[in-house]
Every structure is written in structure tokens, then in C-alpha cells.
């Protein structure tokens, strides 16, 4: 009998956001999107892209999109660096 290993990036997404940003995010959309203040981080395109979105009330301003390859913390660190420069 063979055992399948299923990799679910979204399962670690919320915990990874907390590790990288140092604060507990508000979970949106079944753990595929979180919000930190007025910034939303969303896994999209089959969890292959991390979208960085600034919320202005009900309006969303897409700031950047980061490719997810393997470890979810890499694009999260890139998003944190981007926000530090913005």
C-alpha cells in the first residue's frame, strides 16, 4: 500500500503570517486570506500567488503579487520587505 502525501500551503499560511509579521492576523476566506490592519494577504491562483492588497474601506488596491514556490515564508518575507519600503 502506498501512502500519499498531500501538501496544503494554506494549512500553514496563517501560522506563517504570524511568524513573519509577529502578530496574529484576522483570518478571512477559509485560511486562504488574512488581514493585518489595512493590509490583506491572499493566496490565489491555486495557491501559487500571494497577493498583497491594501484595503481602503470596501475598495481594494492591489500592491504586489509574489510567486509561491515551496516554502510559503519566502513570499511572505518579500511582502513584509515590500511594505517596509512602501
CA 71/CA 28 separation, integer angstroms:
21
Asked if 66 and 50 touch (Cβ cutoff 8 Å), the reply is yes
> What CA–CA distance (Å, rounded) separates 6 from 13?
15
For the CA atoms of 74, 43, 46, 81, the dihedral, rounded to the nearest 10 degrees, stands at -30
Give the integer Cα–Cα distance in Å for 50 and 80.
Answer: 12
> What pLDDT, in 10s, does the model give residues 7-62?
655 668 899 999 999 999 999 877 789 999 999 999 987 778 999 999 998 899 99
**pTM for the model:** 0.81
Please report where in the chains the cell 494549512 appears, as a residue: 11
Amino acid at each position: 500500500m502506498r501512502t500519499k502525501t498531500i501538501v496544503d500551503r494554506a494549512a500553514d499560511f496563517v501560522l506563517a503570517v504570524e511568524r513573519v509579521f509577529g502578530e496574529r492576523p484576522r483570518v478571512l476566506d477559509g485560511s486562504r486570506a488574512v488581514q493585518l490592519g489595512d493590509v490583506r494577504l491572499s493566496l490565489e491562483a491555486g495557491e501559487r500567488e500571494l497577493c498583497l492588497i491594501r484595503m481602503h474601506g470596501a475598495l481594494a488596491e492591489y500592491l504586489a503579487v509574489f510567486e509561491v514556490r515551496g516554502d510559503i515564508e519566502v513570499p511572505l518575507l518579500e511582502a513584509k520587505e515590500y511594505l517596509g519600503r512602501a
